[in-house]
Structure 1
Amino acid sequence: MVLKRAKILVIDDDFDVLTAIRLLLKPLVAEIVVEKNPNNINFQIESKKFDLIILDMNFNGLVNTGNEGIYWLNKIKQFNPNIAVVLMTAYADIDLAVKGLKEGASDFLIKPWKNEKIIHTIKSILKSEKKPKDNFSSNSIPIIGESAVMKDVFIKLKKVGPTDANVLILGENGTGKDLIARALHENSNRKNQPFIKVDVGALTSTLFESELFGYKKGAFTGANEDRKGRFEAANGGTLFLDEIGNISLGQQVRLLTVLQNRQVTPLGSNNPVAIDIRLICATNENPSVLADEKKFRKDLIYRINTLDITIPPLRDRGTDIILLAKYFVNLYEEKYNKSTFEFDADFTKKLKKHNFPGNVRELQYILERAVIMTDGNVLNAEDLVFSSIERTVENNIPETLNLDDLEKNAILTVLEKHNGNISKSAKELGITRAALYRRLEKYEL
């Protein structure tokens, strides 16, 4: 988050201090609220969403603990453990401020302060605090999750990441298999070496060998120069073969030979080239399909699958949906220079209710649309427009069998299809324009 979008609460019983900070920060931030009485902290936090709180350490003995700042810090953290708190203290209380850091404060400022120091501290904290609390990152992109199923994924990542073991990543489309592959590479001893990705499912039989194993000049028409294959390009690093479940039995044989011999022979050459790679594969195929020897060689499965990691679908990740939603909304606030958004209760409820057949990728796209299209700074349920394309492939099972919900979803789908055109939508639904207007009013659409 940038400073100009921040909402900051300052709590100090010294009116002059509050005035000075308010005058300093008011031109720089979206909103600055000052409060003299720490007993009003809960009220302030409940009534407004703050990005950061600046808290004095002493309040004239309002709380008889000997260290009032620590007391109120703990109160804030009990109410909202994720909110950033900066403590203000005098030189004599530095030891107390250090204790505050151990209790969860983000930083502390010493009175009298320098204006540049306050601004720098706030900017640094806002930048870091807006990063989600994740266990891994991939190419600076966080892998977000606190659900039990994602914690199991993180445990496997920690254990297998530093090794050279071959890994098979399983999961539906849109679950983030690419991110997991990159995280495995970046947490390995090969992290400073190449990471090469190949969508092998998209390669034709003729391109499969030339792309993976390379070729020599003159090997075929159009081969005007020597070219290294992806195996050679990844030498010393990691080769990620995506959609491995889609390759033919003939391609599987060629791949197995290379993995067994740890060498490739470019097309048009008789000289094998030794390779040193860490292999990661991914597929959205059901494991039962891979177990069918008519479709996939069992000896290849054992070769690529020293360990498998299954990425759960978004619908099985519980509160991770809201964590991811906040991350994507913050991301697109920055990208499109929008004000800070808040989620209302119906927005959150609708997110949790949706089945997300398109998984994290679907969530990302619908939230980008919501940020672009929404006026104001509160996201409502109406701002969530789910893809009709995803709904049509959702195993043909509706999210609900409630007749009102089915009718409402049908209306939303048709309206989206016809870009809000009432006449065309009514015609496709088989009702009159007046009947459609009545239903729009009924469902508050």
Structure 2
Amino acid sequence: MIDDDEDVLLAAKMLLKKQNHHVIIEKNPKKIPFLLNNDTYDVILLDMNFSKDITSGKEGFFWLDEIMKHDPTAVVILITAFGDVEMAVRALKQGATDFILKPWQNEKLIATIATAIKLKQSYNEVDKLKKAKEMLEEQISKPFAEIIGKSQAIQEVFTLTDKVAKTDANVLILGENGTGKELIARAIHQRSLRKNNSFVSVDMGAITETLFESELFGHKKGAFTDAREDRPGRFELANKGTLFLDEIGNLSLSLQGKLLSALQSRQVTRVGSNQSMPVDIRLICATNMPLHKMVQEGTFRQDLLYRINTVEIQVPSLYERIEDIPLLAQHYLSYYAKKYHKSVKQITPEAMDRLKRYPWPGNIRELQHAIERAVIMTDSDTLQESDFLLSRSVSSGTVNHTLNLDEVERSAIAKALQMHNGNISKAADELGLTRASLYRRMEKYGL
């Protein structure tokens, strides 16, 4: 509340504090820009006249204009002892929400403020819905929302996904790049009680140290050079829904601490504000990095790991679910044939056999790109073995002079186990696998 009469300010503050309102009072209107940059307000009560013997309201209209320039959604109630209908109409046209006269009736002032607060809440909700709608449209436009596969390895993931989805437990999804970790996260959300609310995805590996708090917690206009408007962070946008933090293993220790603080308090504070707000999210994280090993090395906080991995889901590599390759290949073939207006309908048995023998270091994402390129380049209605330009380097390091991939892999695993005297963790690190992946391969080869 800005008014040059200190008695009026104190009287209003005492009245409104009884209504559980937090009230900031100020006599000098020149401090309005500072106040707006320093915090966020549900309602602003603004006097119309600050100079003695002036009743025109020009000062009030000037500061009203300045407030609306700073925040077009600001809710401003103008107050004056010298009002008339013409001034009230002009105030409303210029952006004021309401207009009251001094001396006011307490009940009238309380009711007017209560209505104004509801209006501000609706503005905030509309802004959040608008941002959430933009993100939802972006997510919907992404192809391949379904998880495809019938292999035992992926069926185990489906079973675990269905079990955990019905709860609000935090989930950590582990797996190599390109295995479909985000699709698993979306599947959990779609099967949860939060499915009608937002699924907000954040690539933690793409967020710089300087923008971390702004992206996740939001910022106020003017908080930093490029902050041209108030903006809710990803936590706010995900309120009542699911927040998916991808590549969480890339966070520095300092940013891990800030994230942990928000998760523990279930509150966030926008950059440039000192007012925290509660958030209700279901957290899902994903990474291809060995977080448990990173905890031992001191590069990942153990308390944060405990916080995010109530349930762990290990997504198998494509090479661990070879039997799903024909299903995936046909799915991508149909999609890209339609996208590029090609009449390609099938893949020859020889080409499919080659796809199944290739180790796919880039997993499903690499398979997707290989099919897309083949569809673009072919002039036939059937993809041939020659249409696929798969890397030969992955097979260059042969073992025992054989090119059979199963034999190469079995030999490499056996050597790693022998080198580390049967220590599964060390052998897995040597091979660049997770413990779960190594166990599955050992079972496959009878080791």
Answer whether TM exceeds 0.5 for this pair: yes
The alignment status of 1:381 with 2:385, answered yes or no, reads yes
The alignment status of 1:187 with 2:181, answered yes or no, reads no
The alignment status of 1:215 with 2:219, answered yes or no, reads yes
The aligned runs of 1:62-77 (5 Å cut-off) are none
Task: Assess, with a 3 A threshold, how the Cα gap between structure 1 residues 375 and 399 changes in structure 2: closer, same or farther.
Answer: farther
Question: Normalized per residue, which structure has more strand?
Answer: 1
Counterpart CA distance in 2 for 1:318 and 1:298 is: 35
Counterpart CA distance in 2 for 1:282 and 1:141 is: 17
Task: Assess, with a 3 A threshold, how the Cα gap between structure 1 residues 323 and 139 changes in structure 2: closer, same or farther.
Answer: closer
Counterpart CA distance in 2 for 1:395 and 1:404 is: 9
Kindly report the root-mean-square deviation, in angstroms, between the aligned alpha carbons of the 2 structures: 2.4
**Letter of the aligned partner of 1:281 in structure 2?**
C
Per-residue deviation at 1:221? 2.8
Q: Aligned residue pairs: how many? A: 264
For structure 1, list consecutive stretches of 5 or more residues without a partner in the other structure: 1-137, 406-445
The alignment status of 1:281 with 2:294, answered yes or no, reads no
Which of 193, 196, 201 is matched with 2:200 structurally? 196
Query: Which string of whole-angstrom CA distances, capped at 9 and with x for unpartnered residues, describes residues 131-158 of structure 1?
Result: xxxxxxx987220111111011000111
SS at match of 2:312: strand
Counterpart CA distance in 2 for 1:287 and 1:398 is: 31
Which of 161, 181, 190 is matched with 1:157 structurally? 161
**Letter of the aligned partner of 1:240 in structure 2?**
F
Superposition TM-score, scaled by structure 1 size = 0.56
**Aligned equivalent of 1:352:** 356
Counterpart CA distance in 1 for 2:214 and 2:395 is: 38
Which of 284, 301, 310 is matched with 2:305 structurally? 301
Which of 215, 234, 237 is matched with 2:238 structurally? 234
The aligned runs of 1:232-381 (5 Å cut-off) are 232-292=236-296, 294-381=298-385
Counterpart CA distance in 2 for 1:317 and 1:197 is: 26
**Letter of the aligned partner of 1:154 in structure 2?**
F
**Contact map agreement 2:333 2:346 (CA 8 A) in 1:** no
Per-residue deviation at 1:377? 2.4
SS at match of 2:296: coil
**Letter of the aligned partner of 1:179 in structure 2?**
L
For structure 2, list consecutive stretches of 5 or more residues without a partner in the other structure: 1-141, 406-447
**Letter of the aligned partner of 2:164 in structure 1?**
V
Per-residue deviation at 1:398? 5.4
Per-residue deviation at 1:169? 0.8
**Letter of the aligned partner of 2:183 in structure 1?**
L
Counterpart CA distance in 2 for 1:243 and 1:362 is: 18
Which of 179, 199, 223 is matched with 1:175 structurally? 179
Identity %: 54
Per-residue deviation at 1:330? 1.5
Question: Normalized per residue, which structure has more helix?
Answer: 2
Superposition TM-score, scaled by structure 2 size = 0.55
Of the two, which has the highest radius of gyration?
Answer: 2
**Aligned equivalent of 1:144:** 148
Task: Assess, with a 3 A threshold, how the Cα gap between structure 1 residues 400 and 345 changes in structure 2: closer, same or farther.
Answer: farther
**Contact map agreement 2:205 2:250 (CA 8 A) in 1:** yes
